[in-house]
Structure formats: structure tokens, C-alpha cells
Amino acid sequence: MKKVWLIPIIGGGLIITAGAVFGIIAISNYNNNKSAEEEQKSIIQELSSETKGSEEQSIYEDSLDKKYQAEMAKPVEERDFTTVFASYEMANYSYTLLSRHSSWKTSCSGYTDPGALGKQNITSSQIYDGNVYFEEMNNTGVTISTYNTYSRHYESGSMVNTYIKRAKDDYSDSEKTQRTIEDYVKVYGRAVSNPLTYIISESTVMASDAKSPDGPTKMEKVSEGYIVDVETRAQKAAVNQVIRMNGVSGVSSAKYEYCHLKITLDDALGIKSCYIHERYTAYMSGGLISATLNSELTTTYEVDGTYEIPAEPSIN
């Protein structure tokens, strides 16, 4: 079974596109877009240099497993993962635990809001049924239907089949594209089998300061488990999300103001939900068009159930 990487892996790393709608269209400074594009390239190079080799990665994962197992051996009332994990480790490890289940499902809903012409509603779902990884993404504008997008993605073996819906609800008139996982990641920022788009690591998490209204990075043990707030160095943490927005909606680049994740876990670090709040300026058409968007998305998680993946469309 595939694992979720715990450190920055370019193209790895929710779920979801944000920024398909551009609301009030404004002419932006061409240099702002070029600057954002250059920053994106620089971040990708920086993250590549931080990536661990396979042996080093394996040692790192084993060390986290040992910490986890030692804490799990304690009675529930004595257990406290906030004393053995850093915030970014706890957040990432919860996704590793998710990937180890025999089946899992995510359900995401939320919006992006450019202000004047209405919110763009976003829903998505990922399913792993023990054999195939599946993802469906739906973005529907309240007032601008021309920006609606619908797609289904099936990952099996080393290949991904993508279907972009046109008019028919059954996808029978959809456009099919087949890619290797490696090529798919170059377009969509992460594999279908990876439930986390954002990169959470020591270098992408702000230790104390906060730019978002959601507050700084912190961990809290609560009666039901744990709450992990992650205030990111947004431009770096969202590098794969920018790739994803380009693949889904043609965004040339994006300049992030903030990106905050609030992850809710049970008492064994099983992930229950992830709330993402972000604000950024997206550029299209080489920077000729821009819009500043506020986005809020909430994903919930289920494991070890029987989850039905829609059959791949039969294209006429």
C-alpha cells in the first residue's frame, strides 16, 4: 500500500482546487505575475534540495513509528502525543496512518470567494477501495456558470485516467486523458492516491507568528483527541496547490497572503477532519487578469468501510 510522504516531495503532498472563479476581473501588474512565477520556481528548487533520499526517509518514518507505538502502549488517560511529536509531525503522521487503512474516503466542501460576483462552491471526494484510487472534483459558480468544472480521476497501477465532464451528467460525452502518475502530478500537483495537497514540514510551518485570523501553530489535547493548528509559510506550503490550480482552471501563478490548516484527530491520531482557510491573489492570462480570493474548505475522513467507486465512463 502506498504511503504519504512525511517531508516535502515535489508533486506529492487536500485535495482540492481553489480559485476556479475570478469574480471581479482587474488588470494587474504584469511584473506581479512574473514575480510569483519566479518565486514558485525558486520554492520548487528549494524543496527539492530538502527532500530526503529513500534510505533517510525510511529511517525517519521508522523513528516516528517508534514514537507512536511507545505512546500507544500507554493507557489512554496517560497518553499525550503533544509531548512526543512536533505539530508538523503529528499532522503528517495522521495522513500516514490514513494511508495504511484497507480503505478510506474523504468528503470535502467549501468555497472560494472573489468578492463581487458570488462564491464558487467546491465539492470533492477521494476513495480508496483497496485496489483503485478515485477522485471527483466539482466546482460550481453561484453566478458564473461558465467557470463550472467537473472531473473524475482513476489511479490504478502506474496510470491515471482523467475524465472532464462536458454536458451529460453520466460523463458519456467527457474528454478522457490517460497519463502516468508522474505526468499526472505535473499537471495536478499530487497523485490521486495522496490525500494532502499542501506540504507540511518543519520548513513550511511558522513556529509562532500568524498571518491568518486563525492564530498561530499549536497542538492541543482535548477530550475527544487532538486539535492541531498549522499556520504555514503559505507560499511554500501551497506550491503544489498552485500547480493544481493551473491544471484545473488555468491559473498562471498565485501570491499567497496566508494558509492555515486546523486538523482534528481522535485519541489514536486517526484523522477526523481538516479545515483549510487561505487567502491569495491568482493571476491568469500571463498576469493580465487577477483576483484576490478567500477560500474555506473542510474535509472529513472515513476508514475501513465499503466505498463504491463510480464505474469509469463509457465514452461513445
Q: Which helix (H) or strand (E) element contains residue 113?
A: strand 104-113
In a domain, 31, yes or no: yes
Domain that holds residue 110: 26-303
Predicted TM-score of the model (pTM): 0.85
310, part of any domain: no
97 band by pLDDT with thresholds 50, 70 and 90: very high
Closest CA to 6 of 60, 82, 50, 55: 60
**pLDDT at position 247:** 87
Task: Say whether pLDDT at 200 is over 90.
Answer: yes
> pLDDT (tens digit, 9 = 90+) per residue, 6-20?
333 333 333 333 333
Q: For residue 312, tell me if it sits in a domain.
A: no
Predicted confidence (pLDDT) at residue 79 exceeds the cutoff of 80? yes
- The CATH number of whichever domain residue 61 belongs to comes to 2.50.20
Q: What is the pLDDT of residues 245-283, one digit of tens each?
A: 888 888 888 999 999 999 999 999 999 999 999 999 988
Residue 40 covered by a domain: yes
Q: Which residues contact 14 (CB under 8 A, 6 or more apart)?
A: 108, 195, 196, 197, 198, 274, 276, 297, 299
Report if residue 255 sits inside a domain.
yes
- Give tens-digit pLDDT for 170-183: 788 888 999 999 99
d(CA 193, CA 207): 29
DSSP one-letter string for 166-212 = -S-TTSTTPEEEEEEHHHHHHHHSS-TT----S--STTTB-SS---S
What is the average pLDDT value for the chain, to the nearest integer?
85
Q: Is the pLDDT of residue 21 over 80?
A: no
DSSP-assigned states of every residue in 210-257 = --STT-S-EEEEETTEEEEEEEB-HHHHTHHHHHHHHHHH---EEEEE
pLDDT of residue 2: 46
3-state secondary structure of 76: helix
Does residue 71 belong to any structural domain of this protein? yes
Assess contact for 17 and 188: CB atoms under 8 A: no
pLDDT at position 145 = 42
Question: How far apart are alpha carbons 186 and 94 in whole angstroms?
Answer: 25
What's the pLDDT band for 67 if we cut at 50, 70, 90? very high
Note whether residue 145 is domain-resident: yes
- Answer whether 138's CB lies under 8 Å from 249's CB: no
Provide the pLDDT for residue 217: 97
- Give the pLDDT band (50/70/90) at residue 37: confident
Answer for the pair 112, 292: CB distance below 8 angstroms, yes or no: no
Q: Is residue 5 part of a domain?
A: no
What percent of the chain stands above pLDDT 90? Answer: 62
Residue 210, pLDDT > 50, answer yes
Q: Which helix (H) or strand (E) holds 295?
A: strand 289-303
Total number of domains constituting the chain? 1
Strand partners, 277: 260, 296
